[in-house]
Amino acid sequence: MNKTLQMTEMMERFAKEMDSDELLNCMRCGFCLPSCPTYIESGYKETHSPRGRIALMKAVSDGMIEPDQDVQRSLDLCLGCRACEPVCPSGVKYGHLLEDARYIINQTKKKSFKEKTVRKFVFNEFFPHQERISQATGLLHMYQKSGLQKLARKTQLINLLPEQLRTMEKVLPKVPTRKEIRKRPRHLHAVGYAKKRVAFFSGCLMDTMFLKTNQATAELLQLAGCEVIIPSTQVCCGALHGHSGEKDGAKQLAKKNIEAFEKENVDYIITNAGGCGGFLIDYAHLLQDEKEWKKRAQSFVHKLKDISSLLIELEFHKKELALPPQIITYQDSCHLRNVMNIHEEPRKLLRSLTNVSYIEMENAESCCGSAGIYNILESDMSMQILDRKMGSVQKTHCQTVVTTNPGCLLQMKLGIEREGLSDKIRAVHLVDLLKEALEYKKHAL
């Protein structure tokens, strides 16, 4: 396909498939501008704002401009944090527009052999297969425990990696073995009287690299009075696919998850990762054109609840848990806050901890720059955003930064490492901090 035909096809698909009503809902008021990290970090460049990107989408849809490299660059640079949505007076679903535009571009643009190969491996051969993720985690465990990691650092072979990946290697968690991953139970009983029967969405990376956090989540649910079911046939949520223009793959994963969870007679479906939750709650939109699946997706979404929200509902914050004296601050997960509308619940849990001084971070709701694999694909912009975020962290004089998403957690650890603060500040998932508080209480008794 030559370039002219490619552009023509892309413009036709924009005109046919983009939601024209949603595009028209944008009033160009500019309320979104102060909330957009890329608009601010680009020096207030209009094309790197939500309003500007919607204008570009509409112009392509109307046939006024071609979806050239500048248009695609503007869309690629967007974090997809959706901070523009809560402040939009018209309620524009910008995230849906962005994903639709990326899908159309991905379907029609000519890709190099390298890009085709990488995308096929990542989206078709790796993330849809939990066993392969477990195998990769097992290799990472071997690297960490066999002495290879120490050797790579001592011989400076690690310096062959780009700086960003070298720093990321330092902040990776100590990962479990494949045996540990496999032996995790699938059905756990409530401690004491069972108040709720819940199914836990364990995720892909959360259930491998961050298995300890998932185990802590299950334990908290049990202590809060929940019988916990972990469906064995669940798969990746599809967020990475959906955000990368691989909508068909995202739909297939969504259907598998809906099938896995609708078999269980539960009160709630619980998630502990803001990025996953933000995509799971959009399943009804993702499958809106498929009548049967839309209804099933709506039932799925109706039961979806973040762990922090359920813990508050079950009054876990009244357990009088404590930690050693320290200052704590909280970094919002963008999708947990902007899509699931969960922001007070994590703070309420943190403020309930005895001995802890909770200090609200300036602009805690702004993105940290992680955004899935954005910090790898768009490293320069990601680090600009992270540097600004670390300035806000340091103003709190905290010893602990808490977040509720694995990507955010690694990004905050990356920022701490970059600033040379690893001996003064740590980053931790909310669930792991609550588990620490439980252990501290036990030892104090």
- Determine the residue type at 283: Y
Q: Is the pLDDT of residue 1 over 60?
A: no
Average pLDDT, the chain: 93
| Phi then psi dihedrals of residue 435, to 5 deg | -65, -40
Please report which helix (H) or strand (E) contains residue 217, including its range.
helix 211-223
Q: Average pLDDT for residues 34-54, to the nearest whole number?
A: 96
- Angle (CA) 237-378-37 rounded to 5° is 85
Q: List CB contacts of 232: < 8 A, sequence separation 6 or more.
A: 186, 260
Question: How confident is the model at residue 138, as a pLDDT?
Answer: 87
Residue 284's alpha-carbon distances to 24, 255, 281, 290, 295, in angstroms, are 22, 11, 7, 10, 7
Q: Is the pLDDT of residue 143 over 80?
A: yes
Q: Is the pLDDT of residue 145 over 90?
A: no
Q: Average pLDDT for residues 286-306, to the nearest whole number?
A: 96
Q: Is the pLDDT of residue 147 over 70?
A: yes
According to DSSP, the residues that pair with 427 across neighbouring strands are 401
Dump pLDDT digits (tens) for 222-256: 999 999 999 999 999 999 999 999 999 999 999 99
Question: 322-330 and 400-403 as β-strands: parallel, antiparallel, unpaired?
Answer: parallel
The first and second tokens of residue 418, run together, are 């970059």
- d(C-alpha 44, C-alpha 38), whole Å: 8
pLDDT band at 375 (very low <50, low <70, confident <90, very high): confident
Dump pLDDT digits (tens) for 85-103: 999 999 999 999 999 999 9
0.85 cut: is pTM over it? yes
307 touches 431 (CB < 8 A): yes
- Angle (CA) 293-294-296 rounded to 5° is 60
Burial zone of 143 (CB within 10 Å; 0-12 exposed, 13-18 middle, 19+ buried): middle
Dump pLDDT digits (tens) for 307-348: 999 999 999 999 989 999 999 999 999 999 999 999 999 999
Question: How confident is the model at residue 445, as a pLDDT?
Answer: 60
Q: Average pLDDT for residues 272-300, to the nearest whole number?
A: 96
Number of residues in the chain = 445
Question: How confident is the model at residue 27, as a pLDDT?
Answer: 94
Q: Average pLDDT for residues 201-212, to the nearest whole number?
A: 93
Torsion angle of C-alpha atoms 115, 117, 119, 122, degrees rounded to 10: -140
Query: Helix, strand, or coil here: 318?
Result: helix
Q: Average pLDDT for residues 376-399, to the nearest whole number?
A: 95
What is the radius of gyration, based on Cα positions, of the chain? 22
Q: Average pLDDT for residues 342-363, to the nearest whole number?
A: 97
- d(C-alpha 376, C-alpha 121), whole Å: 17
Mean pLDDT is lowest, of 15-24, 166-175, 283-292, for: 166-175
